[in-house]
Amino acid sequence: MKKFILLAIASILTNLVSAQRVEVTPTFGYTFSGTVKGYYGTYDVQNAMLYGAKLDVEFIDLTYFELSYRRNDPTLEYITSSQIHKEANTGTAHYMAGVLRELNNGTFRPYGVINLGLTRYWDKGDSDFRKWFFSTEFAIGTKIFITDNLGFRFQASVTTPWDFDGGGIYWGIGGGSSANLTFGVPIAHWDLSGGIIISLPD
């Protein structure tokens, strides 16, 4: 998958020379994750603010190659069946590449996105936990341009990490005299985001 990302970057950079339009969009928003009930208790990946950026390069009319990066820092909370709470500070990042298709080229430009890429999870505490997953992203949104080179972008998306070994995000939470516990979370990340589009001159 890393090779796929590198090939996608190379393809976009090649198309920059002949691109009809190039857009850079810093983004900011909010991620809704979820709660999963396990055998020993409940695991809650809490909602969190997100930030990132997108690069879009038009290669045919209304169709763009897109590269995107976004990150958030959710708290992972584990609640045992006896209502004991444990928490871990974590990080989540998505590295995606794909295609954005606009419906028209007016002031308001609704669009859809299909992306593939990698999702990375890590523990920001004492453990050295790191895990990568292949991920897919589907999104809809709209662009609103106030000039030819400046506008706003609003998007709703869902990103799903895939574990082909059967499971999800494996994390360990320990403490006290209890043994460490691991769990799998088949979880989707639902994002609402917005940003300012800066379109480079043709």
The CATH class of 2-11+29-189 is: mainly beta
- Which residue bears the tokens 């890590």? 122
What's the confidence (pLDDT) of residue 15?
55
Give the domain ranges of the chain: 2-11+29-189
Q: Which pLDDT band, with edges at 50, 70 and 90, does 176 fall under?
A: very low
20-24, 107-111, 117-121 — most confident range: 107-111
Q: Is the pLDDT of residue 121 over 50?
A: yes
What is the token pair recorded at 83? Answer: 């209502």
- Which of 24-33, 36-45, 69-78 has the least mean pLDDT? 36-45
pLDDT tens readout for residues 158-167: 998 876 555 5
- Which of 1-5, 66-70, 85-89, 111-115 has the least mean pLDDT? 1-5
Task: Give the mean model confidence (pLDDT) for residues 78-105.
Answer: 85
Mean pLDDT of the chain: 81
- Which residue bears the tokens 């002949």? 18
What's the confidence (pLDDT) of residue 178?
37
E-assigned strand segments in 103-188: 108-123, 130-147, 150-162, 171-175, 178-183
What's the confidence (pLDDT) of residue 179?
36
For the chain, what is the radius of gyration of the CA atoms?
19
What's the confidence (pLDDT) of residue 141?
97
